[in-house]
Each structure stands twice: as structure tokens, then as C-alpha cells.
A and B are shown apart, each in its own frame.
Chain A
């Protein structure tokens, strides 16, 4: 198995960025990723508590950033004495059982597993932050259940359930953006992905009870972030092309995944009734709110891997790649054909990085250009090669990728089919 691994990149955390990558894959790799998913066992922390799935049905292409940890919650059983004798139990008090890693920020492909709605190979783009949202009104539990005679000394018992807001369970993972479009990505041909994002806006969602609006979800979302991407030189946006993180507003508006849950929970969570006339409920019942303080992607000092860094080698599959350009801090609108032409020319072929640099006015922070550099892991972006005052180029050793296994020259060079050029 082979991969490139940069252990610790000297690149500041960023909220905005642009990535350009050429790739292709085979149906053989899809079959192996499906087989891996079928046999996947998430980490087990007891009490039915499991950690996040990592690359369960994914063919990774690029991973980046420091490791981010998620809480895994378990539940504790409590005794519930009945007034007529006997003891029942209920579960309450969510407690952190363990911390385990989240999926890294990555570009990849998700494959159909037969257990979900996904029927074709599709893009998957994940951008993982380190910051949890502040939420309320998303989840409650019974923190206490007791019986009380009502009226007093009547021998008639009412059940009292004290409700506690445990919405924090929904933020076990620091917030993440997940872009999982519906369109199919075909095997055995070159593809180009150009993605740009701006996650610098704090996201707030506040429930609107009793709204008569025909789009309550949109109305509850007070602010969004932005993402643009083009696939095979075709600009993509809107609900179907953004997937789980689409922000219900404009075509390029995105919000973290828990914000989506808050937006569709615009009424308070229901309290279950019992069969004897319903509980008397006291405690914390809040209207849904969600607040995420925009935090950058944790990049500085983290690894970068192609197709994945050393922690994820068990999910590396046979893929072909070329011409990676990674810009931190740069935002482009992929709907602007002139911007796309900085990466894909009118004939559907890669633009020389020197010409991209001229078009955008800056060098990429990570650049893997040309077969030789890919094979050797030579990064000629700003983190791998600097130009000194004398105009000489100086290699930055710490910015080079370590190469493991056979990385082989592939032909033909990247190109979109001739009919797909604009």
C-alpha cells in the first residue's frame, strides 16, 4: 500500500481556503470500500456507547488537519420505586464514557453500502472544526421520576417526571461541515474537483414556535457560512449538490450538521405521555437554540495525507491523482468561469501551476505538481519551498511529504473528456 504523509505542516489554522485536485478510481476500489464497510466495527466503549465511524464507506483522496476528539456518551440506570411495591428502572444522566477521534477533514468518495440511501459513488467533503456548538432544546431526559398522592391521602397516585435538558449530547462532536452531493461520480475516468469555502461566519439558529411560514427551517437560521465547488469544470450548488450541510438559504450557503438538526427542530422536543393520563412534568423545557462561534480548521502542526495520512492507511484504496493545489485563506467563486480557468483550461486539461499563480496572484501553500514530485512527495508550495531575498529557491525539509510504498507514474495525464469543455 502506498501514500504520502506530511507529519506536521507549518500552516496556520484557516477559515477560508481553496483546493484543486485531479483524481480517478476504479470499481475494484469501490468493491473493497464496500467490503470494509460491511465488516466495520466501531470502537466499543460499553453500555452501547460507540465512537464516530471513520471512513466506514469512504475512498479517501486527501486528509488534513489536527486530530479532533469526540465525546462518547453512555447512560446510567436509576431505580424507580412503584407506589404499590416493586421497582422499575429508567436510564438517565448521560455521562462521557470516552473520547475518540472524529473523521479528519478530507476530500473523498462515499460508496453505496446497501444500508443507506446512497446508491452510487458520490463525492464526500468534510471540514472538521475544533469547536462545539452551544445548544438547548434538542434533547431531554427524565432526570427523576417519582410518585405523589394527588389529592393528598387519596390513595390516587400521579407520576411526576422531572425533565433535564441534555442537548449537549448532540454536540459530542465538535462541529463539522459535510458536503455529500447526490450526483454520481463515474469510475475509470479523470475528474477534477475545485472547492472553496468560507467558514468565518458564526452560525446561529433560533426556533420559531407557531410559525406559519412555508420555510420555517430557513427562517430559524439567522446566519450561514459559504462553500463553492466545481466538479469536472461544472459549477455545483443548491440543496442536492450541498447535501447534509446545505443552509436552507442561498445556493452556496452551508451550516454545520448540528445546526441542520436545530433548524428542523423548530418546536420543543415532545415529552412522551404514559397510558394513564400523562405525566406531570417539571424541569427544563427550552425552545431550540444553536450557536456556533466560527472556528478555523485546525491545520497548524497537523498531518496531511494523500490519499490519507498514516493514521488511516487501512482505508487506502487504489486511486490515481495529480496536480494538487491547496490555498489557505483564498476564496474563489467557482461559478466564475474565469476563476475555473485558473485550474482547468478550455480543453479540459490542468493549467500549469505557474499560470495559476499568475491568475490568482499568489502561490499555493501545498503544491504537488508533476509525476516526479508526487512520487518523491516534493511539496513546492509555500510550505515546502521558499524564495529567499536573493531570488533563490530553498527547500523546506519539514514541509516535504514522506512517501511510503510504491507510487507509480500513471498515464494518461489528467484531462476531462473532450465533450465536457466549456
Chain B
């Protein structure tokens, strides 16, 4: 219970099996934005 209280959905999102990156925000771009970064294996 203590673990859930501490981590809540932060913990749940880690279960979704994504590469974790800290922080809360992102930026979206229009057509003048930088190209998508290549995906590395």
C-alpha cells in the first residue's frame, strides 16, 4: 500500500513498458519544426 501511495500512476505507467523519461511536459511542432529523431535499435 505504501508503495502505491508513493508511486501511484507513476508506477503504473512504468508497467506499460515504455522507455522511461522523467519530467511532466512535451512540446509539439508545426511543419517548421525539427524532423523526427531517427529510431535507434
Residues of B within 8 Å of A355, CB to CB, are 8
Residues of A within 8 Å of B24, CB to CB, are 22, 322-323, 350, 369-371, 413-414
A29 CA to B33 CA in the complex, in Å?
11
Residues of A within 8 Å of B28, CB to CB, are 1-3, 306-307, 316, 318-321, 405, 407
* Prevailing SS type, chain B contact patch: loop
Min CB gap B29→A, angstroms = 5
Interface size on B, residues (CB 8 A): 30
Interface size on A, residues (CB 8 A): 46
A367 CA to B24 CA in the complex, in Å?
12
A408 CA to B32 CA in the complex, in Å?
14
A260 CA to B37 CA in the complex, in Å?
49
A409 touches B26 (CB 8 A): yes
Could you tell me which B residues sit within 8 Å of A by CB distance?
A: 4-5, 7-10, 12-13, 15-16, 18-37
A317 touches B9 (CB 8 A): no
B27 touches A354 (CB 8 A): no
A378 touches B18 (CB 8 A): yes
A411 at the interface (CB under 8 A from B): yes
A371 CA to B20 CA in the complex, in Å?
8
A395 CA to B16 CA in the complex, in Å?
7
Given A406-B33, A406-B35, A406-B37, the answer on whether A367 and B9 have CB atoms closer than 8 Å is yes
Residues of B within 8 Å of A370, CB to CB, are 10, 13, 21-24
B34 touches A1 (CB 8 A): no
A393 at the interface (CB under 8 A from B): yes
A selection of 27 A-B contacts at a CB cut-off of 8 Å is A3-B28, A22-B24, A32-B30, A316-B30, A320-B25, A322-B24, A322-B25, A352-B9, A353-B9, A354-B8, A357-B9, A369-B10, A371-B22, A371-B24, A371-B25, A373-B16, A373-B18, A375-B21, A376-B16, A378-B13, A380-B9, A385-B12, A405-B28, A409-B21, A411-B23, A413-B24, A414-B24
Residues of A within 8 Å of B8, CB to CB, are 352-355, 357
Residues of A within 8 Å of B21, CB to CB, are 370-372, 375, 409
List residues 361-381 of chain A with CB under 8 A from any CB of chain B: 367, 369-376, 378, 380
Min CB gap A117→B, angstroms = 27
Residues of B within 8 Å of A412, CB to CB, are 25
B16 touches A385 (CB 8 A): yes
Residues of B within 8 Å of A350, CB to CB, are 24
Residues of B within 8 Å of A352, CB to CB, are 8-10
Min CB gap A304→B, angstroms = 14
Could you tell me which A residues sit within 8 Å of B by CB distance?
A: 1-3, 22, 29, 32, 306-307, 316-323, 350, 352-355, 357, 367, 369-376, 378, 380, 385, 393, 395, 405-414
Given A370-B13, A380-B13, A393-B12, the answer on whether A1 and B25 have CB atoms closer than 8 Å is no
Q: Out of A317, A318, A371, A385, which one reaches B23, CB within 8 Å? A: A371
Residue of B nearest to A406 (CB): B36
Residues of A within 8 Å of B16, CB to CB, are 373, 376, 378, 380, 385, 395
Min CB gap A417→B, angstroms = 16
Min CB gap B36→A, angstroms = 4
A410 CA to B22 CA in the complex, in Å?
10
Min CB gap B11→A, angstroms = 9
Residues of B within 8 Å of A367, CB to CB, are 9
